Amino acid sequence: MSDTSQGPGWWQASDGKWYAPEPQPEAAVETEAPAGDNDEEGEAGEGQFGDGVDKPLYEFRASRFKGGRMFTPNVIRVWPDRVEEYEHHAVRKKGTQTISYHQVSQVRLGRGLRWSDVSVESTGGLVITLKGVSKADGEKVKSLIDAAVERTRQESLRAAAPAAASAAPQASVADELMKLAQLRDAGVLSPEEFEVQKSRAMQLPA
């Protein structure tokens, strides 16, 4: 306040006094938070590789936010002969779902921006999915399961081969006897000749 104007902006009131200009409030400056990755820390599960003997080839604890349950997330274990999902539910209590590798119909890898999902489906329609696996782990886990499935199929083929081989000579003996009987009935072979040829056919290695 002054009896005279002290500069631009000063104003004179009805009492004749001059008053300094009132400071104007500064305009609020809006700032934008720096853009970054979406907060996906809670979306990943926890996985650990093992030797397949004392520990699973891979053990995965599902995320509470990505396909699992908040307080009791599923645990999925990849063994040399099977994949199993262990769940602990407040109502249904505990339970385990298992897919043996000879039952596997397909193994799928879904790739996201940061995480992957590995799904194992059985011929009966059962699906066990590891949701929220790190991308590096997802590739390796799928390769482990694919290799185990192929190994199981090859072992099944090798086990079936001896049975098929042993059945072949028996079928050959039966065919030979049938042909001999037809020749006998047609009069090509006499009964004596038929018996001789029959004895020879029965001596074929089984």
Model confidence over 9-46: pLDDT tens digits? 676 666 666 667 665 444 434 334 343 344 444 557 88
125 and 180 in a single domain? The answer is no
134-152 tens-digit pLDDT: 888 999 999 999 999 999 9
Q: Which two tokens stand for residue 138?
A: 């997802």
CA distances from 103 to 82, 93, 122, 154 (A): 9, 26, 5, 14
**pTM for the whole structure:** 0.56
* pLDDT computed for residue 66 by the predictor: 54
H-only helix segments in the chain: 135-185, 191-202
85-122 in b/e form (b: 16+ CB < 10 A) is bebeeeeeeeeeebbebebbeebebeeeeebbbbebbb
Q: Are 109 and 138 in contact (CB under 8 A)?
A: yes
How many domains are there within the chain?
2
pLDDT of residue 35: 35
**What is the residue type of 30?**
E
Task: Provide mean pLDDT across the span 185-194.
Answer: 81
19, part of any domain: no
56 shares its domain with 136:
yes
**Shared domain check, 187 and 89:** no
Both structure tokens of 197: 């040829």
Domain, as residue range, for 107 = 43-155
